[in-house]
Structure 1
Amino acid sequence: MRRISGSKLLADNERGMVLVVSLLVMAVLAVLGTAAVMTTTTDLKITSNYTQNKKAFYNADAGVERVIAYLRANTVNYPTGNTPTTISVSCPTGFNFNTSVNLNYVSSNTYKFQMTGTGANNVSKTIETHIRKVPLYPQEADGAVAMYGGGPEVAFKTGGGGGYAIDGHDYPVPADPNCNGSSCDTTATALPAKPGLFTVMTPTLSGNDTAHLGGVPTQTLGASRETEFNNFVEMVLASSSNATPLYQSTLGTRANPAVTVIPNGTTLNATANGAGIIIVDDGGSLQINGNFCFEGLVILRGSGRVFGSGTANIYGSLVTIGHLSKLIDLTGSINLFYSSAALANLANIDELSQIQRTAWRVVL
């Protein structure tokens, strides 16, 4: 029998061990390689999904901006209850978002809508956006009549009949915007009242103010808002150079309230009912003949005046600014009644509202 030396056995064993170790190393490397490939593939997928999610989000945000731009540039019937208003916009080339959204009512002058943007591989993001119509005109009437200039004076009828000529109790607007004569008369509600006459200095009152001045209180003194109202008038007048000025020369209606400016040297004959804002500038006149009913805000600047032999109900508020002395003559048949409903309708003058995004969130 041939004898095998111990050194040869040891060498053979070492070679076998090397083979086993080599195979194990190769197996480990193969596993690591496969894992690396899988990890890289997964990373690529994650990166791709992240990129497409970002793209979908940015598309949705672009759609939101498109809707806001539409609201700023167009006349829209904003919802007032549970029935939404549908807004349709176009989607520019290179973007991908839905072109129709439902504008829902949240609260006064606040609305919300959802916009969905998409990326590749059916990736989508939906953003819910809250917007608010911010009025550009002065808010919160100080009274049925507010005289912010100097030397305020009001002349009332001397007799006791005829009821209030100035009243700060809250009146509803007439049921029919085209009412005439006594059908334009309404009865004050139980809503919170305003002062009848608000002035910044003690006014001179003549006639029977006890019988013809109402409100809570009937008359009060307070801080001037003359600068605020004057800045508003200047903003409106400065728009004359715009392609579409903020004002017109005719009266608006309840359905389409507008800003009407009566400039210096001009007289507007009030022969039909109206709604919105009337600015009677220094040297201008609003003449009332026959029956007239107006809903909204009337601003008399400087020597601007309201006069005439007709019968008029002005629901909302009348403001005077820019004078050292001012007489409001109510010895005829002009009545000035505070009305929150008439003033609330000013929000429908789209040109005097600025659309702002107030909040947003990703919902899907």
Structure 2
Amino acid sequence: MILEVDDLVLQVLGFAREDMVGHRSTDFIHADDHEQAFSSWVRMLGDPQKPYTIQVRHRTASGRWLWVEAINTVDTGDEASVETELTLIDRPADDRTTVSSQLLRHLAEALPFGIAQIDSDRAIVFSNGKLDDVCGQANGDHLDDRFGLIVATDLPVLDAAVKSVLAGDDSEIELSLSHPHRGVRRCAIILSALVGRSGYGTTGALLCVTDITDDARQRAEIIRRAVQDGLTACLNRAAILDVLTTAVAGCTDAAGVAVLFFDLDRFKQINDTHGHAAGDHLLVAVGERLRDGSRDADVGRLGGDEFLVIARGVPSAEQADRLGQRLAQKVRRPVKLRDTVIRPAISVGVAWSADPAADASSLVAQADAAMYRAKRRGAS
């Protein structure tokens, strides 16, 4: 923090005293020179008997940058204070540096993803045009401004990742934002810590932002196809059995798991009489009715006309039986098949357990056996 400046400094730089006193010295030093300034400051505090000299660009009141040589010396009478002597110097532009900077900027603008460089205060030091396109925000010099369209539920994800990278830990995250022209978009962000060449701490971070909406949709579709029955949209056999294994492991004395095995009666006759398309229509209707009637449960199709419903948090076998009968009644409502209406006949078998060590396959077998007993009794 600047405590005092002399008149000559104010004259050369064009500031009023109140423009500098009370402000951080880094507010007047070019961002590209912050690393050098910080490093010199730390070395000086480690060896307060020795003055340290650096060359940096200092801002003037008109917004120009002047090269100065700064000699920093710890005040012998007050080690909490440092005296800085500024000397104007003439440093011609380095053509190689200028060309390199232009090349890097052109390269950054050509990249297919957004780039944002932030300092330790989350202020944006550099960004390319693609960042505006991806984020839908072109204004703002702070990270929170440029990422202001992120959906509220993902804001803590970004905040935690930024805090982590500014502490030196790289990370990758995904989040959604409400683009003003493209609707909700899914973005991937790679956060990389920027560490000074001196090795002292993290000076900021680099964020690479990519719109992955199409990739996310394709990924979701692949996952959906991997777990979903293609005809009925219920879970497929492998997926529903995985659900059962997880549900059994979470059983407690007060919250067991119910396994409900459903099988359509005389389904072959329906196929033979009305055709396989009508049979498929009936299977779709059964799947929809089971899902609608058991919103807190998982519904899967084992194959053919067999369905499995897994319900968690069922406190007793009696309640599991009542759930099975209620769902069966829902399925038995009339269904229109082409030019006719039929009332589906279905049998249900129920198994229940509150033992987290129970065998999932055995529970399915018990429910299957109970279903066949019901079928033999002529349940319809």
TM-score bracket, normalised by the shorter chain, equals: under 0.3
Q: Which has the higher helix share?
A: 2
Q: Which has the higher strand share?
A: 1
